[in-house]
């Protein structure tokens, strides 16, 4: 299966289109409107905080359960978002031209930095305060999970084989039936792969979003994330290990009960008719299949779906005639609406910048952005140097692959604050420079994407190619240069894109690290946002987020996207 | 003549789950002398390609010796170059770079490398394509790159692993004759060739000697020397005689074995079954019944008419023999009485005949039906039969036998099988 990076790589062009700019303006305007609305809501918050969390081991399973549930709910919301947003973008060219760039900008927004704003906003929404905090937490996880799922689904919908689509039309299936019987099944295998990635990424977000302080307000939802936060504050090393253990258990449960069955089940939707070499298996799926209770429970739902396929929209047969006129009017309405929206957004942005920011603020943020950029690039480069050879070595050995692949996936789920104790202690002990030695935290979680993409690439290398290289005595550096590295290059690029995107997000959490009373700062945009959050300075939070999003988008455009297309064109094995 | 290669008593097994071993090559002997083209002919699964990989030093045997010009083969050998079935070109290298790859490994000076590569490209007829990428070439041109890449290192032995089987008929013939011509003119910097193939005519066309392989485990069953001058004419009677002779040799052994199994009146369910679809069987029965054959045909003729390779024809013929729809004798295949009725019948009658034949000739099918009849629920899990089979045969053979029986029984409506639940049953799905 081809793995696509979680950013828009559809167009090969470098320069932003009008739609990109429009999307950027809309997102920025939205963020500002959001922040403005939340600014005045901070004060009443102080009354609901201060739930002390005690590190009692017997509470841990309960916490793990709550954290796991939050992830599951967020996954459900992400799925709903994927099915609606991506479908809309793929089916309606008019909407798609805006929705895709919008998604691209959205996935570049370092949502961890925006946490304070969302928390405050959601708290103000709900009269029961805990519910508000829960919503904010789920929302944060959702923003960590949804984008790449939507991208994957959108890309699949755009590549449904035309003959399948035509067959559906010939049999008179309605658009609704076609979606569920043809398009959704076709898009399922890559979607599930992306769900698994999202779930790994979600851990990072859940641990951060459960325990958050805005200004001098602390909120701690019962869960593994809060547990870790408290353990860090109290310098409680055993508690950190207990948290790691709890996470491991939850990840294992999800893997065995949810993802493995899904992967095994989705194997039937692969479009290539050849039997896969080793069919994925899952004991849980076998249990589900044989269970009568489950059968009984799903039957009404299945029945309902079946009936729904027979509905024909009332306009069936008439639509083709009216479409022509319809679309012209709709076009005008649509553009007018967009124009107004963007005008309003631009107005808000201008107002916000004019009232709150000086040019020097922007200068500071951009300067710090370059520092973080340097950090991200250097560390991605180092991680690539280490993990590419390791990935090739592992990928060429099927047995080793089976062991390493799940371990890497598990490590990718690890939020970097779990390493704070180690890193902070070492830096303090040896009196190191935090600007340099906090940096590794940036790629701690995301470097694994490079590893497992390279493994995937190496393991799909045809045996005959390897034989040919060996037969012609190609060894050593020549082998790496002409055989191994080119073969994994497209996979590496996909991994590096994912890793780099994640690294930016992680910088918010990596450039400021604390252990007990010790807090270390590195200079960078991540620390800038993090500090602004801690002091409740929304103006700098918004500025920092805007600048970081800008950096991410630009790096994607001028580095990763061209590299991706170069790799696709030249190195893809067909 | 000098011996280029000597293979003695070679044995190769592959590990399989549960500490078992699959014997792929057993006691294989082979010599290649200077100026010879030797063909290895056999069905898939007879270990020909495995032998080729052993000769190239890409894997090691469990027993026996291989030596190249007197020295034992312990790893990739410099004087042995290989041409692959799927071309195995590196998609990110141009034609020139692909051809040069083997020379770079030899650490030659860049100028000599370039000259030699260009000479090889010229020789193989790739002039003008030097800077093209493999994806821009047709299949035939790609395989020419494969040849050029092998020839450029001036190997003593050229190994070819079904080099024409991924090409269409015309392109393959074109490439074959070019190669035979180059070889005949002495223009190739090569001393001997080993060609793996499952195409009988190809072997007769190109080789000086043909070794026939039997399968499971792979052994050299016999050797046939082709004493015809090059270039050979496919339509000459002498050529056709050789083709016929090889067909007879290859069928005789298999059919003899099957007849043994049948006449022993064995009731063992553990009879190895090769997967052949009922459609293929029906197709061949119909072709046989129709003119010009009218119920009896020469195997090479019908293979040619039906555009079937040996690999495809033999399993179908064997299945027909097993189901007593046809008799295979020498190089001929003849419809039985039942086979004729099958050919004349409507679909329902065919199913009826097939069903009865399964019950009386395929013990595994009869066994499954009996178990299903006896059980109150009329169903049974796949593992029930798989475990039983694995007591007598290897795991993958058991899987294949079950798969075959399922496909036959579905056609005959003898019983049904639900793959999701891995369950056999008597019910037809509603």
What is the rounded average pLDDT of the residues B394-419?
Answer: 87
Task: Look at residue A510 in the predicted model and tell me its pLDDT.
Answer: 83
Please name the member of A469, A471, A486 whose beta carbon is closest to the beta carbon of B92.
Answer: A486
Beta bridge partners of B218: B25
Report chain B's terminal Cα–Cα distance, integer Å.
Answer: 71
Residues A522, A507: contact at Cβ < 8 Å?
no
If contacts are CB pairs under 8 Å, which of residues 42-61 in chain B contact chain A?
53, 56, 58
In chain A, where the domains are located: 61-268, 357-574
Chain B: closest CA distance from residue A149 (Å): 28
Residue contacts between A and B (CB atoms, under 8 Å): 67
CB contact under 8 A, B58 and A573: no
- Residue A470 and residue B58: Cβ atoms within 8 Å? yes
- Is the pLDDT at B13 greater than 50? The verdict is yes
Lowest-pLDDT range of A198-212, A255-269, A287-301, A384-398: A287-301
Is the separation of the CB atoms in A391 and A454 below 8 Å? yes
Residue B381 touches partner A, C-beta closer than 8 Å: no
Q: Do B102 and A573 touch (CB under 8 A)?
A: no
What is the C-alpha to C-alpha distance for residues B295 and A544, in angstroms, rounded to an integer? 85
Take residue A543 and report the two structure tokens written for it: 């500025």
Chain B CB contacts of A464 below 8 Å: 84-86, 88
Alpha-carbon dihedral of residues A283, A287, A288, A293, nearest 10 degrees? -170
CB within 8 Å: B58 and A572: no
pLDDT tens-place string over residues A327-382: 777 778 888 888 888 888 888 888 877 777 778 888 888 999 999 999 999 999 99
Q: Check for a shared fold between A61-268 and A357-574.
A: yes
Q: What is the mean pLDDT of residues B307-314?
A: 76
Reply yes or no on whether the pLDDT at B51 is more than 50. Answer: yes
B228 vs chain A: nearest CA distance in angstroms? Answer: 33
Phi and psi at A255, nearest 5°, equal -60, -50
CATH class of B3-248: alpha beta
Distance in angstroms (rounded) separating the CA atoms of residues A105 and A20:
8
Residue of B58, B97, B133 with shortest CB distance to A471: B58
Nearest to B91 among A471, A474, A573 (CB): A573
pLDDT: is A322 or B120 the higher one?
A: B120
Nearest CA in chain B to A573: B91
- b/e B200-238 (16+ beta carbons within 10 angstroms → b): bbbbbbbbbbbbbbbbbbbbbbeebebebeeebeeeeee
Which residues of A fall within a CB distance of 8 Å from B420?
289
Q: Which two structure tokens, joined as six digits, stand for B374?
A: 């006896």
Taking CA atoms, B273 is separated from A193, A196, A338, A440, B172, in Å, by 38, 41, 67, 59, 32
Residue B143 contacts residue B39 (beta carbons within 8 Å): no
pLDDT of residue A554: 87
Tens-place pLDDT, residues B86-143: 888 998 899 999 999 888 888 889 999 999 999 999 988 888 998 999 988 988 899 9
| Residue B378, token pair as written in the block | 């009329």
pLDDT given for residue A318 in this prediction: 45
Q: Which residues of B touch A471 (CB under 8 A)?
A: 56, 58, 76, 80-82
Query: In whole angstroms, what is the distance from residue B19 CA to residue A240 CA?
Result: 43
Contact between chains at A473 and B78 (C-beta distance less than 8 A):
yes
A231-239 mean pLDDT: 85
Retrieve residue B373's tokens.
């009849």
A469 vs B contacts (CB less than 8 Å): 101
Residues of chain A with Cβ-Cβ distance to B152 below 8 Å are: none
Least confident interval from A82-91, A115-124, A510-519, B55-64: A115-124
Contact criterion met (CB < 8 Å) for B84 and A467: yes
Q: Which residues are bridge partners to B292 per DSSP?
A: none
Q: In chain A, which residues have their Cβ closer than 8 Å to the Cβ of B78? A: 473
Partners of residue A465 in chain B, C-beta under 8 Å: 88, 90
Q: Mapping DSSP to helix (H, G, I), strand (E, B) and coil, where does residue A151 land?
A: helix
Q: Give residue limits of the domains in chain B.
A: 3-248, 262-430
Tell me whether the omega of the peptide bond preceding residue B292 falls within 30 degrees of 0, making it cis.
yes
Q: Does the structure show a pLDDT above 60 at B299?
A: yes
Characterize A18-45 residue by residue with b for buried, 16 or more Cβ atoms within 10 angstroms of its Cβ, and e for exposed: ebbebbbbbbbbebbebbbebeebbeeb
Residue with tokens 């994927």: A82
**pLDDT for res A299:** 81
- Here the tokens at position B14 are 């592959």
Could you list the beta-strand ranges (E) of A151-307: 211-214, 217-220
Query: Under 8 Å CB-to-CB from A225, ≥6 apart: which residues?
Result: A67, A206, A207, A208, A209, A210, A211, A415
Tell me if A482 and B104 make a contact (CB, 8 A cut-off).
Answer: yes
**Has residue A115 got a pLDDT over 80?**
no
Distance CA B81, CA B190 (A): 10
User: What is the pLDDT, as a whole number, of residue B408?
Assistant: 92
Closest CA to B44 of B310, B223, B250: B310
* Cβ proximity of B299 and B263 under 8 Å: no
Burial A345-365 (b: 16+ CB within 10 A, else e): beebbeebbeebeeeebeebb
Tell me the per-residue pLDDT of A485-498, one tens digit each, with 9 for 90 and over. 998 998 898 889 88
Yes or no: domain A61-268 corresponds to CATH 1.10.3720.10:
yes
Burial class from Cβ neighbours inside 10 Å (0-12, 13-18, 19+) for residue A48 reads middle
Nearest to A547 by CA among A34, A113, A104, A144: A113
Give the model confidence (pLDDT) of B165-192 as tens digits: 888 888 888 899 889 989 988 888 899 9
Task: Provide the CB-side half-sphere exposure for A572 (13 A, CA).
Answer: 14
d(CA B44, CA B50): 11
The dihedral formed by the CA atoms of A118, A124, A125 and A129, expressed in degrees to the nearest 10: 100
Q: How far apart are CA B99 and CA B298, in angstroms?
A: 44
**H or E element, residue B14:** strand B3-15
Candidates B53, B92, B102; nearest CB to A472: B102
CB contact under 8 A, B104 and A468: no
When the pLDDT of each residue in chain B is averaged and rounded to a whole number, the result is 86
The confidence band for A236, taking pLDDT boundaries of 50, 70 and 90, is confident
Quote the pLDDT of residue A463: 85
Query: Are B105 and A473 inside 8 Å of each other by CB?
Result: yes
Element (H, E) at B364: helix B363-374
Lowest mean pLDDT segment, chosen from A156-165, A212-221, A519-528? A212-221
Under an 8 A CB cutoff, do B92 and A574 touch? no
Backbone angles phi, psi at A176, to 5 degrees: -65, -45
- Tokens 């890449």 sit on residue: B149
Place of tokens 């709903």: A80
Q: What is the predicted pLDDT for the residue at A273?
A: 46
Share of chain B above pLDDT 70, in %: 94
Residues whose CB falls within 8 Å of the CB of residue B18, separated by 6 or more in sequence, listed in order: B395
For the structural domain made of A357-574, what CATH number should be given? 1.10.3720.10
Among the partner-chain residues B85, B88, B106, the one whose CB lies closest to the CB of A465 is: B88
Alpha-carbon gap, residue A355 to A343, rounded angstroms:
18
Per-residue confidence (pLDDT) for residue A127, from 0 to 100: 60
Nearest to A464 among B86, B106, B153 (CB): B86
- CB proximity A474 to B under 8 Å: yes
Which residues 6+ apart lie within 8 Å of B49 measured at CB?
A: B161, B162, B196
Yes or no, beta carbons of B53 and A467 under 8 Å apart: yes
Per DSSP, the three-state class of B417 is strand
Q: What pLDDT shows up at residue A335?
A: 82
Cis check: omega of the bond before B217, within 30 degrees of 0: yes
Residue from B54, B88, B116 whose CB has the most chain A CBs within 10 Å, to mutate: B88
Q: Measured on CA atoms in the order A30, A35, A40, A46, is the torsion positive or negative?
A: positive
Percent of chain A's residues with pLDDT above 90 = 9
Greater pLDDT, B422 or A325: B422
Contact state of A472 with B153 under an 8 Å Cβ cutoff: yes
Token couple for B199? 């195409």
8 Å CB contact between A434 and A425:
no
Most confident of A291-305, A396-410, B70-84: B70-84
Q: Name chain A contacts of B59, Cβ cutoff 8 Å.
A: none
Q: Which of B308, B260, B311, B256 is nearest to B287 (CA)?
A: B308
- Find the closest chain B residue to A289 by CA distance: B421
Contacts with B135 from chain A: Cβ below 8 Å: 574
Which residues of chain A does B80 touch, with a Cβ-Cβ cutoff of 8 Å? 471
Contact A411, A452 (CB under 8 A): no
| Nearest chain B residue (CA) to A488 | B92
pTM: 0.79
CB A473 to CB B80 under 8 A?
no
- One-letter-per-residue 3-state SS of A59-88: HHHHHHHHHHHHHHHHHHHHHHHHHHHHHH
Reduced DSSP (H G I as helix, E B as strand, rest coil) percent helix, strand, coil of chain A, to 5: 80, 5, 20
User: Which residues in chain B have their CB less than 8 angstroms from residue A571's CB?
Assistant: 91-92
Query: Chain-wide mean pLDDT for chain A?
Result: 80
Q: Is the CB of residue A176 less than 8 Å from the CB of residue A311?
A: yes
- Pairing mode of beta strands B332-335, B416-418: unpaired
Task: Give B 80-119 residues with CB within 8 A of chain A.
Answer: 80-82, 84-86, 88, 90-93, 97, 101-102, 104-106
CB neighbourhood size of A92 (10 A) = 13
User: Which of A289, A467, A474 lies at the smallest CB-CB distance from B105?
Assistant: A474
Distance CA(A146)–CA(A124), nearest Å, equals 24
Task: Give me the mean pLDDT over the A118-128 stretch.
Answer: 72
Helix (H, G, I), strand (E, B) or coil at B298: strand
Closest chain B residue to the Cα of A475, Cα to Cα: B105
Cα distances (Å, whole numbers) of residue A560 to A412, A552, A567, A573:
21, 10, 10, 20
**For residue range A44-78, what is the model confidence (pLDDT) as tens digits?**
444 444 455 667 777 888 888 888 888 899 999 99
- Between A47 and A40, the more confident residue is A40
pLDDT at A105 over 50: yes
Cα distances from A278 to residues A147, A267, A275, A402, in angstroms, run 30, 11, 8, 12
φ and ψ at B95, to 5 degrees?
-55, -50
Which pLDDT score is estimated for B266? 56
A-chain CB neighbours of B90 within 8 Å are 465, 468, 482-483, 486
Per-residue pLDDT, B145: 93
Report pLDDT digits (tens) over B219-272. Answer: 888 899 998 888 888 889 999 889 888 888 887 776 666 666 666 655 677 777
Partner B contacted by A467 (CB < 8 A): yes
């Amino acid at each position: 299966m081809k793995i696509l990076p979680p950013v828009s790589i559809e167009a090969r062009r470098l320069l932003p289109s009008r739609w990109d700019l429009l999307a950027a303006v809309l997102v920025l305007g939205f963020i500002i409107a959001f922040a403005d609305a939340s600014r005045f809501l901070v004060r009443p918050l102080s009354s609901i905080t201060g739930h002390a969390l005690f590190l009692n081991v017997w509470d841990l399973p309960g916490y793990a359960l709550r954290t796991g549930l939050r992830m599951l709910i967020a996954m459900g919301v992400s799925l709903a978002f994927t099915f609606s947003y991506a479908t809309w973008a793929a089916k309606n060219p008019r909407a798609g031209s805006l929705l895709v760039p919008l998604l691209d900008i959205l996935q570049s927004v370092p949502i961890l930095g925006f946490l304070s704003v969302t928390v405050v906003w959601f708290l103000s929404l709900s009269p029961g305060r805990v519910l508000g905090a829960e919503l904010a937490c789920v929302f944060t996880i959702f923003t960590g999970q949804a984008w790449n799922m939507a991208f994957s689904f959108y890309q699949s919908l755009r590549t449904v084989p035309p003959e399948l689509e035509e067959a559906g039309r010939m049999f008179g299936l309605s658009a609704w039936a076609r979606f569920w019987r043809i398009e959704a099944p076709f898009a399922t295998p890559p979607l599930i792969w992306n769900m698994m990635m999202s779930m790994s990424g979600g851990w990072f977000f859940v641990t951060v979003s459960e325990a958050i302080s805005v200004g001098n307000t602390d909120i701690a939802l019962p869960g593994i994330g809060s547990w870790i936060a408290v353990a860090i504050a109290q310098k409680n090393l055993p508690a950190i290990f207990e948290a790691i253990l709890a996470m491991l258990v939850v990840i294992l449960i999800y893997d065995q009960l949810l993802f493995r069955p899904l992967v095994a089940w989705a194997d039937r939707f692969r479009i290539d008719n050849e039997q896969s070499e080793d069919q994925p298996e899952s004991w849980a799926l076998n249990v589900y299949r044989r269970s009568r209770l489950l059968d009984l429970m799903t039957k009404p739902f299945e029945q309902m779906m079946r009936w729904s396929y027979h509905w024909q929209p009332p306009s069936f047969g008439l639509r083709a005639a009216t479409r022509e006129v319809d679309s012209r009017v709709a076009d005008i309405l649509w553009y007018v609406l967009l124009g107004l929206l963007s005008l309003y957004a631009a107005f808000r942005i201008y107002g916000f910048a004019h009232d709150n920011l000086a040019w020097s603020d922007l200068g500071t943020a951009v300067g710090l952005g370059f520092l973080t950029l340097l950090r991200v690039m250097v560390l991605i480069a180092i991680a690539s140097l280490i993990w590419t050879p390791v990935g090739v070595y592992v990928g060429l050995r099927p047995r080793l692959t089976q062991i390493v692949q799940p371990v890497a996936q598990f490590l990718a789920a690890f939020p970097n604050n779990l390493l704070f104790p180690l890193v902070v202690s070492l830096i303090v002990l040896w009196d190191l420079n935090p600007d340099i030695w906090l940096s590794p935290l940036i790629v701690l979680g995301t470097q694994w994407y490079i590893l497992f993409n390279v493994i995937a690439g190496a393991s799909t290398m045809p045996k005959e190619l390897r034989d040919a290289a060996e037969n012609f005595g190609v060894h050593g550096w020549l082998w790496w240069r002409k055989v191994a590295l080119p073969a994994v290059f497209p996979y590496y690029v996909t991994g590096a894109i994912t890793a780099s995107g994640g690294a930016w997000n992680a910088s918010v959490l990596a450039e400021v690290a604390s252990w007990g009373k010790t807090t270390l700062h590195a200079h960078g945009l991540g620390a800038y946002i993090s500090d602004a959050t801690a002091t409740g300075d929304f103006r700098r939070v918004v500025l920092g987020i805007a600048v970081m999003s800008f950096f991410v988008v630009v790096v994607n455009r001028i580095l990763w996207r061209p590299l991706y297309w170069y790799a696709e064109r030249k190195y893809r094995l067909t | 003549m000098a011996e280029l290669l000597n293979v003695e008593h070679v044995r190769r097994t592959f590990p399989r789950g549960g500490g078992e071993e699959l014997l792929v090559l057993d006691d294989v002997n082979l010599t290649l002398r200077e100026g010879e083209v030797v063909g290895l002919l056999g069905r898939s699964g007879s270990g020909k390609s495995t032998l080729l990989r052993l000769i190239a030093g890409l894997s090691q045997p469990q027993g026996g010796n291989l030596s190249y010009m007197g020295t034992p083969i312990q790893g990739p050998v410099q004087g042995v170059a290989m041409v692959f079935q799927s071309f195995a070109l590196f998609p990110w290298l141009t034609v020139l770079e692909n051809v040069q790859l083997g020379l770079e490994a030899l650490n030659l000076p860049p100028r000599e490398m370039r000259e030699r590569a260009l000479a090889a490209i010229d020789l193989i007829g790739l002039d003008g394509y030097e800077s093209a990428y493999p994806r821009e070439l047709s299949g035939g041109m790609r395989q020419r790159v494969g040849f050029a890449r092998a020839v450029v290192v001036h190997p003593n032995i050229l190994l070819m692993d079904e080099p024409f089987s991924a090409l269409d008929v015309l392109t393959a013939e074109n490439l074959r004759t070019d190669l035979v011509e180059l070889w005949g003119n002495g223009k190739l910097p090569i001393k001997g060739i080993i060609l793996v193939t499952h195409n009988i005519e190809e072997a007769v066309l190109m080789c000086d000697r043909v070794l026939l392989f039997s399968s499971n485990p792979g052994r050299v069953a016999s050797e046939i020397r082709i004493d015809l001058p090059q270039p050979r004419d496919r339509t000459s009677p002498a050529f056709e005689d050789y083709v016929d002779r090889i067909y007879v040799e290859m069928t005789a052994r298999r059919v003899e074995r099957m007849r043994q199994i049948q006449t022993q009146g064995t009731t063992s369910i553990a009879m190895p079954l090769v997967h052949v679809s009922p459609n293929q069987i029906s197709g061949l029965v119909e072709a046989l019944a129709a003119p010009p054959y009218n119920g009896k045909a020469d195997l090479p003729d019908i293979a040619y008419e039906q555009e079937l390779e040996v690999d495809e024809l033999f399993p179908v013929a064997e299945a027909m023999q097993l189901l007593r729809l046809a008799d295979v004798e020498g190089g001929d295949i003849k419809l039985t009485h039942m086979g004729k009725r099958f050919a004349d019948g409507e679909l329902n009658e065919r199913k009826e005949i097939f069903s009865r034949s399964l019950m009386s000739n395929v013990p595994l099918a009869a066994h499954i039906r009996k178990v299903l009849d006896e059980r109150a629920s009329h169903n049974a899990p796949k593992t029930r039969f798989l475990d039983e089979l694995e007591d007598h045969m290897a795991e993958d053979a058991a899987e294949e036998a079950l798969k075959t029986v399922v496909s036959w029984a579905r056609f005959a409506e003898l019983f049904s099988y639900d793959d999701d639940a891995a369950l056999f049953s008597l019910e037809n799905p509603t």
